[in-house]
């Protein structure tokens, strides 16, 4: 067992130690404030000198205050770190560094956002230091155990298994079908004037000569079954608006699709763009999905990845959401919170660990294609590097795809190859 000794058992420290030793390392641990009860291998997270052999990590002070600190990255070591400390055996305050990243403290203090009000990647210390492609938090934990093993001649090992799953956002269930007379007529006229290729696709679909391009559900189910890949689907059920353009939530085809996919996969809510300004819409859209499925819904991903901390996560908790899958960049690939391990949301506004589990994703299809302008070969190379980095720390590898991006038509031509090569 590892004993973490501290003079003060703060909420921030408890949260961080639990994440390190319970969620990542998965080894027995305890936090002690009484040095007379210390047993086995002790990590001394204090400025005290203990009369026993211990591994010393000098605290920066972040975990014993309610302050927000913006640390500088350190380049003196052979690897990236935050909160470099001169004292102790460990070269930096790894507890503070991990808390800083997974609490998303930098997002509370960010004064820049994109046109949709989202956190932008260039505000991230990981992106500025070109460290976003690695799950640095998980790497730090592996390295910490190596140091502890060397110090005590112990043999702690991380025994968790590498996992991977895919998440699919259904922003637009069908390209042409089931959209009503007005939307169909307007779309046909627009395509006739500006997109003759798309007009041909429309007529092919209407005349039943070809499948709707966005109807990729059989392909997704067949591939995931063969690969034994867990898939989660997130459905946009908001009212029609500029950025919310799915078919109606009560359309028989939408209801049938949700029920069919729900037979084999987890179904979550994809709160509309409009819900960001009217949080009641989250509850309304969640009820719509629950009515269709006939059971409670606990999984969420925000449409457009449009959320802000802590307000958006507080709203999810209020509506009974237990798992969120929005933690990633909207304009970059990599690990927004520095980890590939699901973690509990820590509410810095109220200084409390919550029951909301945050599931980080490594990349989104639209970022590869639209933001980074990568061709399919370059995109697959990037994805495979991310996957390799996650596998090395036995983490959880996931991504965001859309039924549209698996259509293999228009700007998504040949992108099924990227999808299939990702796993």
Q: Which domains are seen in the chain, by residue range?
A: 2-152 (no CATH), 163-175+212-420 (3.20.20.370)
Whole-angstrom distance, CA of residue 335 vs CA of residue 117: 20
Q: Coil, strand, or helix at residue 176?
A: coil
- Asked if residues 314 and 306 have their Cβ atoms less than 8 Å apart, the reply is no
145-181 pLDDT, tens digit per residue, is 999 999 999 999 999 999 999 999 999 999 888 887 7
Instruction: Specify the pairing of strand 352-358 against strand 343-347.
Output: antiparallel
φ/ψ region of 84 (left if φ > 0, alpha if ψ in -120 to 50, else beta) reads beta
Residue tagged 């040949």 (tokens): 414
Nearest to 41 by CA among 58, 28, 26, 22: 28
Q: Which residues of the chain have pLDDT under 50?
A: none
Specify the pLDDT at position 290: 98
Whole-angstrom distance, CA of residue 88 vs CA of residue 255: 60
For 41, other C-beta atoms within 10 Å of its C-beta total 19
pTM comes to 0.95
Angle at 37 between CA 35 and CA 41, to 5 degrees: 85
Whole-angstrom distance, CA of residue 215 vs CA of residue 257: 10
For 224, other C-beta atoms within 10 Å of its C-beta total 18
Residue tagged 């500088």 (tokens): 72
Specify the pLDDT at position 208: 76
């Amino acid at each position: 067992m590892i004993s973490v000794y501290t003079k003060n058992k703060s909420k921030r420290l408890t949260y961080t130690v639990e994440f390190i030793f319970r969620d990542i390392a998965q080894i027995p641990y305890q936090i002690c404030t009484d040095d007379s009860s210390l047993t086995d291998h002790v990590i001394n997270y204090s400025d005290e000198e203990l009369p026993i052999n211990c591994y010393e990590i000098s605290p920066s002070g972040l975990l014993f205050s309610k302050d927000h600190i913006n640390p500088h990255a350190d380049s003196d070591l052979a690897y990236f770190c935050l909160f470099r400390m001169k004292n102790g055996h460990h070269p930096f305050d790894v507890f503070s560094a991990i808390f800083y990243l997974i609490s998303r403290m930098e997002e509370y203090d960010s004064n820049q956002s994109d046109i949709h009000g989202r956190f932008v990647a260039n505000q991230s210390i990981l992106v500025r230091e070109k460290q976003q492609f690695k799950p640095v938090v998980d790497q730090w934990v592996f390295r910490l155990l190596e140091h502890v093993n060397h110090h005590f001649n112990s043999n702690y090992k991380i025994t968790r298994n590498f996992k991977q799953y895919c998440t699919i956002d259904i922003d637009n269930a069908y390209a042409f079908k089931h959209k009503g007379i007005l939307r169909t007529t307007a779309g046909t006229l627009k395509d006739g004037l500006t997109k003759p290729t798309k007009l041909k696709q429309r007529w092919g679909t209407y005349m039943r000569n070809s499948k709707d391009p966005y109807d990729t559900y059989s392909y997704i189910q067949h591939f995931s079954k063969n690969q034994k890949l867990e898939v989660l689907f997130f459905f946009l059920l908001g009212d029609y608006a500029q950025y919310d353009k799915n078919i109606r939530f009560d359309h028989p085809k939408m209801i049938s699709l949700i029920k069919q996919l729900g037979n084999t996969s987890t179904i979550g809510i994809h709160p509309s763009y409009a819900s960001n300004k009217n949080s009641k819409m989250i509850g309304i859209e969640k009820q719509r999905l629950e009515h269709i499925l006939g059971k409670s819904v606990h999984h969420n991903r925000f449409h457009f990845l449009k959320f802000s901390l802590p307000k958006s996560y507080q709203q999810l908790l209020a509506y009974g959401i237990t798992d969120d899958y929005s933690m990633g960049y909207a304009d970059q690939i990599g690990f927004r919170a520095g980890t590939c391990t699901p973690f509990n949301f820590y509410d810095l506004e109220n200084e409390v660990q919550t029951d909301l589990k945050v599931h980080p994703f490594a990349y989104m299809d639209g970022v590869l294609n639209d933001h980074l302008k990568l061709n399919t070969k370059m995109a697959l190379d990037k994805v495979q590097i991310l996957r390799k980095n996650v596998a090395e720390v036995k983490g959880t590898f996931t991504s965001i795809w859309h039924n549209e991006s698996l259509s293999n038509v228009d700007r998504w031509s040949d992108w099924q190859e990227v999808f299939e090569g990702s796993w």
